[in-house]
Structure 1
Amino acid sequence: MEGMGAVAVTSTEFLRRMEAAFLEEFKGEGEADPLEQPSRRLPKK
């Protein structure tokens, strides 16, 4: 079951990178701050 831990970390890292890229596109509009929105979509750490 050690593999699942590695997969979880990889998935989290992948999601965080997607989140950052997604926010980068919306940053131009000044719609939401990177420190406010992610907490709602990302799961508990």
Structure 2
Amino acid sequence: MKVICKYVKIDPEMLSVKLDQKDDDISILELNITLPETEAEDTPK
């Protein structure tokens, strides 16, 4: 998170963290961040 926040300002409300346990030896950590739209995406090419 600190690395991402270094480059993009993130609203904590736009963050989702999920941990799934599969069997006894497998864990999956899912991190979803909705990034804000930038001006470059809004301007036509």
TM-score > 0.5 by shorter chain: no
TM-score, normalization: structure 2? Answer: 0.23
Which has more strand, going by share of residues?
A: 2
The one of the two structures with greater contact order (alpha-carbon pairs below 8 A, sep at least 6) is: 2
Is the radius of gyration larger for structure 1 or structure 2?
2
Which has more helix, going by share of residues?
A: 1
TM-score, normalization: structure 1? Answer: 0.23
